[in-house]
């Protein structure tokens, strides 16, 4: 009897999984909408677990059926989930852009200090002043490679004022091994926290501080406290900073 009960439970579970797979496959997408806030959770329709997190103006595929007036059914990464209706919009949210006055051509090259091997990180949630260009830039950013915040194909990084003071300034970190990391100034290190030349953080000698989504950060980087461990090619000191 016990064996039969166990077998029946397994059959029921398999049936549920098959039905779930069919539901996902047959789900009809009505239209594409956009997320209207930062860090919006999408939850599984059955377990209520978070299956994805979307940022401002990320696209979501809305399905033909809804469970109530407050929630909208969506399809995300081959899963069915729901999102609170108040956090989606038919159109992208228009945000005042930070004052980015940079050209596509190189505007200068500055040397890196000898302590530039460590590449530290900070959570983007630490940027809280809604009127600041840093915050506005994060509203345009997304969580990209290795859990690092990105604008387009450039990584958000904080530097000291020796290099630039313009939020949104594009620059490359050129490593000693020849690797080039494309970056954009996402935050400014305070002069009081840096050395006399405003190149490095005084307490740890770090020059570049990557801005990350802590919940998605690469496990190796998190364990070592160094963004260099995201990629073997990044395990090299910064040789110079090329500004654009």
- For the stretch 24-40, pLDDT in tens is 455 567 778 887 766 67
Q: What is the largest CA-CA distance in the chain?
A: 79
Question: For 96-113, how does the pLDDT look when each residue is reduced to its tens digit (9 = 90+)?
Answer: 444 444 444 566 889 988
Asked if 238 and 208 touch (Cβ cutoff 8 Å), the reply is yes
Question: For 178-204, how does the pLDDT look when each residue is reduced to its tens digit (9 = 90+)?
Answer: 999 999 999 999 999 898 888 988 877
Which of 32 and 140 is assigned the larger pLDDT?
140
For the residues 72-84, what does the mean pLDDT come to? 76
pLDDT at 22: 45
pTM given for the model: 0.59
Among the listed ranges 27-31, 146-150, 168-172, which one has the minimum average pLDDT value? Answer: 27-31
């Amino acid at each position: 009897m016990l064996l039969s009960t166990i077998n029946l439970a397994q059959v029921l579970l398999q049936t549920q999984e098959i039905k779930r797979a069919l539901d996902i496959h047959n789900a009809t997408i009505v239209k594409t909408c956009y997320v209207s806030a930062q860090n919006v959770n999408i939850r599984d329709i059955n377990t209520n677990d978070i299956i994805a997190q979307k940022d401002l103006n990320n696209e979501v595929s809305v399905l033909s059926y809804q469970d109530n007036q407050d929630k909208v059914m969506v399809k995300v990464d081959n899963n069915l989930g729901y999102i609170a209706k108040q956090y989606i919009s038919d159109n992208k949210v228009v945000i005042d852009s930070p004052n980015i006055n940079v050209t596509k051509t190189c505007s200068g090259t500055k040397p890196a200090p000898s302590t530039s091997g460590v590449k530290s990180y900070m959570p983007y949630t630490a940027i809280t002043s809604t009127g600041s260009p840093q915050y506005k830039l994060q509203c345009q950013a997304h969580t990209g490679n290795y859990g690092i915040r990105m604008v387009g194909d450039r990584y958000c990084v904080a530097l000291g004022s020796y290099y630039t003071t313009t939020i949104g300034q594009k620059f490359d970190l050129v490593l000693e091994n020849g690797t080039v990391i494309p970056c954009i100034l996402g935050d400014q290190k305070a002069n009081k926290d840096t050395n006399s030349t405003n190149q490095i953080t005084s307490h740890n000698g770090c020059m570049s501080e990557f801005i990350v989504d802590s919940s998605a950060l690469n496990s190796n980087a998190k364990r070592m406290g160094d963004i260099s461990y995201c990629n073997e090619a990044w395990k090299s000191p910064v040789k110079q900073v090329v500004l654009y």
